[in-house]
Chain A
């Protein structure tokens, strides 16, 4: 069943077009990777799906429901959650409270979900009473992501989830993504870590300058010469580290 469907989406920032007529669809229990150079419009697409940006044209359907008239809050209730890049915590509140707030829309079995996040990030479990503002950058990222996981959404929109994490944590993340997938969730992940993302993704989309220029399965995309040229080009050496 198609969970997320984007039809001919166009978005403008201050009248400058950022995204042109992009169409994509992701099924239930699928991981989709949005890759592309910086500033290509990946974040914009995610934000449009989450309802943070209003498209000027096109339609977005979540499980068949058009979302044009829904607010961000209603979208979260519908099960769409956007996990921003960088650190976005409630700095004066404790780690535990930060996670609890994530369960604002769905409060049943909240304790178990928080426990699951603590299992995922044992670092946080030790600091559950610490104000989130005094954690290290990496730990604040964990809180940000953890809060997204607690929402118990059906569609997760991750914006650059690995940024700032060590390879070990990144590995743990990839495991979480797979678990989520097996639970029947839909994941859209945008990011710079192209190889890593495409390896775990069922579907890949290459976004270039606001256009969708390639789509296919993760493996296919990874070996596509055009993608190699656009993304790796002269940076092959640096990126191959990941």
Chain B
């Protein structure tokens, strides 16, 4: 009894410790920046995986990410929104697009769903590139100045670190619920056999749509945070293959059916990317994501955490 309670308390404690690193001034910038990127990517991967747990694979989450980034950038730099409302506005754009998914491609499964999501990234990109008066077209929005935050967190990189770690914490909790709560079991039933799940009364459509909306919301938030860290958005970047790929790569690498899997995948691969690939192959460092996708599908089909258990 005592032991299991302690075990339950452990993850939040670890999280608090990692969060508190943000207030320590002595941590070198480069280390902190790798960690911030890793946690942002980890948050994206976790958000993606909440949707993927309903048994479908999306290659189109860059759409939510990009819409979140654009919504945030426009709200902040054109309409002078405060930071949090800006994030919310970006996330709402993403959720609206997710609603469009639900209206259109909700019935697709397997290969056709994968294809439809892959294709659907192009639509917001082309629209944003073309509505030049509002979005500045393919040049993108430069110099996004983030207003001061009304909460006591450090400024600069440390502040971004705190925000991403906090977001990751929320997503990990949600992800944990999506695996082990009552509705999490419903999701598991859908993954295993959709028809059987429907037959035993699992609200298949409702759960799948719910996970998509949750996932798109947080993907949008990640896009907003990304835009505020980088300081500019450009359609070809935020709607690029890269941002559709990384959540998939990290989740598969870390293990889809593990609460920590996507985050762990992000931390390992992102560190590899930033610490080894970037210095060695500055132009082609992103190839690591494609290559690790291959290696994962070949050698660790259930992710690295599963491998640790069985091996």
A and B touch in the complex (CB under 8 A): no
Q: A interface vs B, CB < 8 Å?
A: none
